[in-house]
Chains A and B, each alone.
Chain A
Amino acid sequence: MLGAGGVGVFGVLASRLYYLQVVKAEDYLTLSENNRFNYNIVVPERGRILDRYGEGLAVNRQDYRAVIIPERVPDLDATLLKIQDVIKLDDRTIERIKNDVRTTAKFIPVLLKGNLDWPVFSALNIRAHNLPGVVLEVGQARSYPNQGIFTHTLGYVGRANSADIDKDEDPLLLQPTFKIGKTGVEQAADQSLRGEAGQLKVEVNAVGRIVRAWPDPKDDAKAGKDVWLTIDAPLQRFSAEQFGEDSGGIAVMDVMTGELRTLLSMPSYDGNLFVSGLTQDDMNRLNNDEKRPQYNKVISGGYSPASTFKMAVMLAALESKLIDPFRKVVCVGKLRLGNRNFHCWKRRGHGPQNMAEALKHSCDSYFYEIAQVIGIERIAEIARQLGLGQTYNIGIAGEKSGIVPDPAWKQGKLGSGWRMGDTLNASIGQGFVLATPLQLAVMTSRIANGSLAVSPNLIAGQTLETPPPMTIGSNNLEFVRQAMWSVVNEPGGTAYAKSDLGLDGVKMAAKTGTAQVRGISASERRSGVRKNAELPWKLRDHSIFVAYAPFDKPRFAVGCVVEHSGSGAGRAAEVTRSVLAEALKRDGMAPVATITEPPL
């Protein structure tokens, strides 16, 4: 009987073994393979962003980092505590880690800390065997040389947030070590920069450490494609130097192709801060700076174009044939409309002015006078043809359309009817009119090339179509160009003092603009308008300047705003002149002092 019991007992065991090792063997083999093998997602190398000559503006550097695999960590709190012996994690980081562990799948590695220096990394390596689930890896991190001079254009990368993950199925987004473009070109060209996730079959042990790997070429990650910009990096650096501490934006554009050689907003900020995780201090500093470093002024900043808008008014007058450009208007320093005085910037008046003289001297009274005849609709129509009041899809987010006002716009926006006073304000680029520095460059390009409605572009290598022709007569454009020439090249022109490009015989054509940012009361006018230097920075006029060169064979156009720095003939003219000269030099108009090898 005992024997029978014994056989029965072991019969149970044997049949169980049969069940496990024969019937279910396949399943368990799979499970053991799953235990053993992980298909790790391999994050592809992100494509670089290069300037037109191949200089790296956004590149990748080696990043030593520690990640944890939640399912292999027996006790998260204990592990985090233990790891603090080597790396300090602040409360925000710990909270972020715990949140990541809570919200992502248990097998996906969560970033503990990136950007570790070598001593810390090796110290962690030594302790790793005591920290199950903590894995050390060498990855890549985005890096932006140039101290932020290109940040507004390039943007930066960051962790995908839940909104990103909702609208993008790419499994890469779930990898905490993966970063997507958040702004700028990084965001706009993210799909092609990102590349394709790879797979790597690895054998892991119970605590998640890789024992072996089987790289399979067909599963390799596909590196992202490099994106080339039309930007000329040395020129942009040069432009930033010209700005110095000043605030504003400048766009340098090829008048024929629309390629942007420089697209700069100042001051800027270092995009690397956002990659490594912004500290509260940095955040406060950026947010509290009255020069608004984060604001991409060159494409988002709407400024009154002031007198640079007068070219549009001129063209509208010539196209309408309502105004004889040689008929003179007498400027007495102000024009009375109803019970309101409209002042010319020159208190005592310019005296009799024809159209070309009015532009050269930037006489406001002349434009008040002719605008009443032409009417706002014609002016607005020409302004739009010149590229104002619209965006161009240059390839990055944040472009503002500015405003080209007309009665319909005012009715829709403000619900009130158009008044002649609005036309007068618009005629000197004040009032409702707003334009970005980029738009000013576009306007100038279109005037300069004489026929084509060229649009700006930033990403190189796109197929460009011939821009549509403008309906504006080329003889009228020629007339305006001559007038712009006299602004800088004839004595009495508002920017005559700033005319010398320093390039032998190469002349530019330009227009100044001084945008008021405050109202000037009648009493202040009586007692004398306060000088900019006496005003707080925020109330000083914006200095605006547009130009192109060479005059006889236009190559580049510039739109430049230097915020709160006074007259357009001042800072903006200085910056523009230097930048334009440098652009021409770099384009082969004159020997360039230093030929920079693109750093790789």
Chain B
Amino acid sequence: MISLFGDSGYDNRSAKGKLFELNWLLPALVMLTGIVGVIMIYAATDGVWSHGAMQHLIRIIICGFAMVVIAMVDIRLWYGLAYPAYVGALLLLIAVELVGVNVNGSQRWVDLGVMRLQPSEIMKPAIVLALARYYHDLPDWRVSRVSGLLGALIIILLPMGLILRQPDLGTTALLGATGIAVVFMAGVNWRVISLAGLASIVAIPLFFRFGLKEYQRARIWTFLDPSRDPAGASYHITQSKIALGSGGVSGKGFMKGTQRQGEYVPENRTDFIFTVIGEEFGLIGSLLTIALYMTIIALCYWLAWQCKNAFSKLLILGLTTTFTLYIFINLAMVMGLAPVVGVPLPLISYGGTVILAVMSGFGLILSAHLHRKIDLPRSD
């Protein structure tokens, strides 16, 4: 019998003792980033507290508690829940397909009455859990074999296919990249990875031609050649670059961004919130934000390094990779290095499910680290 909060045959620490042993630096940094989000949403909404900043604050506090609770839960429980969570998330994605709410032409949300859930966000930690467990259980010699790869591939491709149908190109790419990263970190040898790389080079153009909606193709074309459409899809990118660039080194000052005031950058409360940071706090603010993220990421890698079992290691690495990719894709998009794909900046962008997913992910990371000394047997 596994007790949830300690005091068992495997883990004889008390809940209080576990709380004491928790790595508090990570929650502190996460909450700090969330606070940055509150401030920037406040600015993005022209200083109207109730247009998102307040909600964001409430969410990070609630999710902060959830994060600690998740951290306290024994890793073996999460191990046990890995597949059920994945299947649950998969079912939610199918539910979206059937009864989803349509916003802006994509069907991404399930209305639960109290909140709208975006199952694709839930799938992000879930897929890492599932893959971590899959590789934890998989004997080392099978990792680079076709049979071993096939299982991982199914785990990755099923949700990707469902999310692509919504359609949500950004999340699809993010899931794929996360999955591949976990597979890679699980120790798949280089030959297989090179082969996969070659296959994707062949697959991408085909996918581009047959797998994308017209507006998605347009966005990518526009990204590649902005002059094709000066007032349409590239408007986002152009205005976003103007906002960042005009901020200069020190920025225009808090609440003084003119791009923001003039509402030139759409979605600047959500996906394009970094433009507000860049415009109002300049290069200094931008780099500090990135540094904050890098500290979190580095800390997570250090936590993973301390873990003994494969599940914990892969869980932390996978979740951190998702987090990193989020940040990278969002920033690259805002800076005009990547097409506009609708990936939020984690912890700073306004949006409930993302915060829930990201902070749950940190809860899992903390849990994995907190229970790093527990021996987790392979289940088959």
Q: State the A residues within 8 Å of B (CB).
A: 2-3, 6, 9-10, 12-14, 16-18, 20-22, 24-25, 27-29, 31-33, 35-36, 71, 203-207, 211
In the complex, the answer to whether B241 meets A20 with C-beta atoms within 8 Å is yes
In the complex, the answer to whether A28 meets B241 with C-beta atoms within 8 Å is yes
In the complex, the answer to whether A36 meets B245 with C-beta atoms within 8 Å is no
Report how far A12 CA is from B324 CA in the complex, Å: 14
Report how far A21 CA is from B185 CA in the complex, Å: 35
Any chain A CB within 8 A of the CB of B297? yes
Residues of B224-272 contacting chain A, CB below 8 A: 231, 239, 241-249, 258-259, 261-264
Partner of A24, one of B245, B294, B324: B245
When distances are taken between beta carbons in the complex, the residues of chain B under 8 Å from A24 are 245
When distances are taken between beta carbons in the complex, the residues of chain A under 8 Å from B170 are none
In the complex, the answer to whether A22 meets B262 with C-beta atoms within 8 Å is no
Partner of A22, one of B239, B243, B261, B283: B283
Report how far A28 CA is from B294 CA in the complex, Å: 27
Chain A nearest CB, measured from B325 CB (Å): 9
Partner of B262, one of A10, A27, A206: A206
When distances are taken between beta carbons in the complex, the residues of chain A under 8 Å from B335 are 13, 16-17, 20
When distances are taken between beta carbons in the complex, the residues of chain B under 8 Å from A35 are 239, 242, 258-259, 262, 264
Given contacts A3-B301, A204-B262, contact A32 B243 (CB under 8 A): yes
When distances are taken between beta carbons in the complex, the residues of chain B under 8 Å from A21 are 244-245, 247-249, 278, 282-283, 286
Report how far A20 CA is from B249 CA in the complex, Å: 10
Report how far A33 CA is from B279 CA in the complex, Å: 13
Partner of B245, one of A9, A13, A25, A211: A25
Report how far A205 CA is from B261 CA in the complex, Å: 7
Total CB contacts across the A-B interface at under 8 A = 104
In the complex, the answer to whether B244 meets A2 with C-beta atoms within 8 Å is no
Across the A-B interface, give the 5 residue pairs with the lowest CB-CB distance, nearest first: A28-B245, A32-B246, A21-B283, A205-B262, A25-B248
Report how far A28 CA is from B287 CA in the complex, Å: 18
When distances are taken between beta carbons in the complex, the residues of chain A under 8 Å from B54 are none
Chain A nearest CB, measured from B33 CB (Å): 15
Closest to A34 in B: B242
Chain A nearest CB, measured from B184 CB (Å): 10
In the complex, the answer to whether B290 meets A10 with C-beta atoms within 8 Å is yes
Residues of B300-349 contacting chain A, CB below 8 A: 301, 317, 324, 328, 331-332, 335-337
When distances are taken between beta carbons in the complex, the residues of chain A under 8 Å from B298 are 3, 6
Given contacts A21-B278, A32-B242, A35-B264, contact A13 B290 (CB under 8 A): yes
In the complex, the answer to whether B259 meets A20 with C-beta atoms within 8 Å is no
Report how far A35 CA is from B231 CA in the complex, Å: 13
In the complex, the answer to whether A29 meets B245 with C-beta atoms within 8 Å is yes
In the complex, the answer to whether B264 meets A14 with C-beta atoms within 8 Å is no
Closest to B185 in A: A2
Other A-B contacts than A20-B241, A29-B246, 5 sampled, CB-CB below 8 A, are: A13-B337, A21-B249, A28-B245, A205-B261, A206-B264
Residues of B177-193 contacting chain A, CB below 8 A: 185
Q: On chain B, which size bracket covers the interface?
A: 35 or more
When distances are taken between beta carbons in the complex, the residues of chain A under 8 Å from B263 are 205-207
In the complex, the answer to whether A36 meets B283 with C-beta atoms within 8 Å is no
When distances are taken between beta carbons in the complex, the residues of chain A under 8 Å from B283 are 17-18, 21-22
When distances are taken between beta carbons in the complex, the residues of chain A under 8 Å from B282 are 21
When distances are taken between beta carbons in the complex, the residues of chain A under 8 Å from B231 are 71
When distances are taken between beta carbons in the complex, the residues of chain B under 8 Å from A13 are 290, 328, 331-332, 335, 337
When distances are taken between beta carbons in the complex, the residues of chain B under 8 Å from A3 are 298, 301
Given contacts A13-B335, A17-B244, contact A6 B297 (CB under 8 A): yes
Given contacts A22-B283, A29-B245, contact A14 B262 (CB under 8 A): no
Q: Which of B246, B258, B264, B283 has the largest number of chain A CB atoms within 10 A?
A: B246
In the complex, the answer to whether B262 meets A2 with C-beta atoms within 8 Å is no
Report how far A25 CA is from B287 CA in the complex, Å: 15
Report how far A16 CA is from B241 CA in the complex, Å: 11
In the complex, the answer to whether B258 meets A36 with C-beta atoms within 8 Å is yes
Provide a sorted-by-A list of 14 A–B residue pairs whose CB atoms are within 8 angstroms.
Answer: A3-B298, A6-B294, A9-B324, A13-B290, A14-B290, A21-B245, A22-B248, A29-B245, A31-B246, A32-B245, A32-B258, A35-B258, A205-B263, A211-B261
Q: Which of B241, B245, B248, B335 has the largest number of chain A CB atoms within 10 A?
A: B245
Cβ proximity bits B54-89 to A, threshold 8 Å, 1 near / 0 not: 000000000000000000000000000000000000
Given contacts A32-B259, A205-B263, contact A2 B246 (CB under 8 A): no
Chain B nearest CB, measured from A577 CB (Å): 70
Chain A nearest CB, measured from B160 CB (Å): 22
Report how far A432 CA is from B263 CA in the complex, Å: 74
Closest to A209 in B: B262
Chain A nearest CB, measured from B205 CB (Å): 24
Closest to A23 in B: B245
In the complex, the answer to whether A2 meets B243 with C-beta atoms within 8 Å is no
Report how far A29 CA is from B336 CA in the complex, Å: 17
Report how far A356 CA is from B248 CA in the complex, Å: 97
Report how far A13 CA is from B338 CA in the complex, Å: 11
Chain B nearest CB, measured from A537 CB (Å): 61
Closest to B286 in A: A17
When distances are taken between beta carbons in the complex, the residues of chain A under 8 Å from B317 are 2
Given contacts A13-B290, A17-B286, contact A31 B262 (CB under 8 A): no
Chain A nearest CB, measured from B287 CB (Å): 6
Q: Which of A6, A203, A205 has the largest number of chain B CB atoms within 10 A?
A: A6
Chain A nearest CB, measured from B322 CB (Å): 13
Q: Which of A13, A22, A27, A36 has the largest number of chain B CB atoms within 10 A?
A: A13
Closest to A16 in B: B335
Cβ proximity bits B275-298 to A, threshold 8 Å, 1 near / 0 not: 000100011001100100110011
When distances are taken between beta carbons in the complex, the residues of chain B under 8 Å from A36 are 258-259, 262
Closest to A5 in B: B324
When distances are taken between beta carbons in the complex, the residues of chain A under 8 Å from B264 are 35, 205-206
Chain A nearest CB, measured from B251 CB (Å): 9
Closest to B262 in A: A205
Closest to A21 in B: B283
Report how far A24 CA is from B335 CA in the complex, Å: 12
Report how far A338 CA is from B163 CA in the complex, Å: 110
Report how far A71 CA is from B235 CA in the complex, Å: 12
Report how far A206 CA is from B259 CA in the complex, Å: 9
Report how far A206 CA is from B261 CA in the complex, Å: 9
When distances are taken between beta carbons in the complex, the residues of chain B under 8 Å from A211 are 261-262
Closest to A74 in B: B231
Q: Which of A2, A22, A24 has the largest number of chain B CB atoms within 10 A?
A: A2
Report how far A78 CA is from B294 CA in the complex, Å: 47
In the complex, the answer to whether A14 meets B246 with C-beta atoms within 8 Å is no
Closest to A29 in B: B246
In the complex, the answer to whether A28 meets B286 with C-beta atoms within 8 Å is no
Report how far A10 CA is from B325 CA in the complex, Å: 11
When distances are taken between beta carbons in the complex, the residues of chain A under 8 Å from B247 are 21, 25
When distances are taken between beta carbons in the complex, the residues of chain A under 8 Å from B243 are 32
Closest to B251 in A: A21
In the complex, the answer to whether A27 meets B258 with C-beta atoms within 8 Å is no
Report how far A519 CA is from B20 CA in the complex, Å: 125
Report how far A204 CA is from B337 CA in the complex, Å: 28
When distances are taken between beta carbons in the complex, the residues of chain B under 8 Å from A16 are 332, 335, 337
Closest to A27 in B: B245
